[in-house]
Amino acid sequence: MNISRENRLLLHCLQASISGNRGDNITDIISLPLNWEEVLASASRHDVAPLLYRSITNIVKDHDIPQEVMVRLRIAYRDNLARNMYLYAELRRILEVLHNNDVQVIFLKGAALAKTVYGDIGLRPMSDVDILVRRENLSNAVELLFQMGYSLCNDQEAQNRNINVKELINAYSRHVPALSHLQGIQKLDIHWTIPDSPCTIAGLWERAKTIKIDKTDVLVLSLEDLLLHLSLHTSVHHKFHDHGLKQLYDIAITMNRYHNEIDWDQLRLRAYEWRTEKYLYLTLRLSREILGANVPERILSALKPKAFNEKILMEAQRRILFQKAGKSDQKSSFEGIPHLDKFHPDNNLLKRTSFIFKRIFIPPKELASLYSLPTSSRYIYFYYFLRLISQLHHNIPRYLPFFLYLLRQRKESPYVHNLDLWLNTPDFNTRS
């Protein structure tokens, strides 16, 4: 894979930060002509500028790098440190209020990682803050946050008194809409389950660990649950877009720092229980291939999906290393098209046809509700024809590129060599 000097410098800095080596590769690259604007742009795109600053200052002398570059990196680190100090102070205020009202909280993602795994809160940028609460405490938690001055992100007028919290919660399956405070956390996501996962929530709480952050007791996920959550977040949720190296670094630094404390067999078994083995496999492989993470070979062998195509790994690498954040490869991306798993080759023709039939010919009561008809209307069956036309009009533009792609790939299942299809479909018979 042809990687520019600028991106190689960034990768070597991250690898040295994980492994703790002397960074001979870094000094070798710095001695060559570099486009420092591209280095800074890449670090910003991947949201790892503070890590780049720490790695460079620990390994090379200031005079080897343009002074302006060091100043900009130092500002990025200090700005992030100041912002995170403010976020943690606000989190302590939130924790105090919630704990005083018997609402337990688990810190997720950056809020848990910055202090524990990174060891320096200035190194890990946080665009938002995610916390987990129990489902039965959710209404109380939201009400308490409203009382603290938080509001829905799209409701900066803070007219929370007009919001029915129970209806708001029932309208969402994973977390309530993000909350915001003009003088607090700008984007606070409250979850009651792990997105993109069928995990048992009770088990998450039973395995959660208590740590201290600035003398405050805080719950965080167990190491095995943390790795599974991070893997799902970067692969299933983000599809390896959006700050790809930062998300991969989260996984790599966690494994290297706690390698001897992670129960690798439990991690594999839990991935099996959550039906997320292939996502864990791919993110662990990427962490090793790109950042040099220390992953036991026996675990990768046990997790490896049946007939895994190395094209999936290569496409994910390209997406992380070369693609601009938030942009997808339009030639091969089927992201956003629902129910692609229903057309997987392991589903026979009868199952696929049955799915289409049930999508069109929904129960009469549901049809009546959809078209605002009385259920006793004698015209109700005419509306099945209208629904057929509507479904064709709505879905042909979405599904036509997908079906044309399937026809072009008849010799080999596209589900095993197209990254988006591979990510968008669950495991069928993937175990070796």
Give the lowest-confidence range in 11-15, 270-274, 302-306, 407-411.
407-411
Cα 88 off chain centre by = 21
Q: Are 304 and 282 in contact (CB under 8 A)?
A: no
- pLDDT band (50, 70, 90) for residue 174: low
pLDDT at 14 over 70: yes
Sign of the C-alpha dihedral computed for residues 291, 295, 297 and 301 taken in this order:
negative
Q: Are 355 and 342 in contact (CB under 8 A)?
A: yes
Residue bearing the bigger pLDDT, 254 or 196: 254
Q: What is the pTM of this model?
A: 0.82
Q: Are 317 and 286 in contact (CB under 8 A)?
A: yes
One DSSP character per residue, 19-51 reads H----HHHHHHHTS---HHHHHHHHHHTT-HHH
pLDDT at 152 over 90: no
Q: How far is CA 423 from CA 164, 241, 249, 336, 420, in A?
A: 36, 13, 20, 11, 5
- pLDDT band (50, 70, 90) for residue 126: very high
209-245 tens-digit pLDDT: 998 887 888 999 999 999 999 999 999 888 898 888 9
* Element (DSSP H or E) covering residue 311: helix 310-322
Which of 46, 27, 37, 32 is CA-nearest to residue 69? 37
66-94 tens-digit pLDDT: 889 999 999 999 999 999 999 999 999 99
Could you give the CA distance from residue 115 to residue 55 in angstroms, rounded to a whole number?
A: 18
Give the lowest-confidence range in 16-20, 56-60, 406-410.
406-410
Q: What mean pLDDT is reported for the chain?
A: 85
Domain ranges within the chain, ordered by starting residue: 5-78, 340-424
At 203, list the tokens.
Answer: 């088990």
- pLDDT band (50, 70, 90) for residue 134: very high
* Three-state secondary-structure class, residue 431: strand
- Per the listing, tokens 């049946």 go with 306
pLDDT at 255 over 90: yes
Could you give the CA distance from residue 25 to residue 17 in angstroms, rounded to a whole number?
A: 13
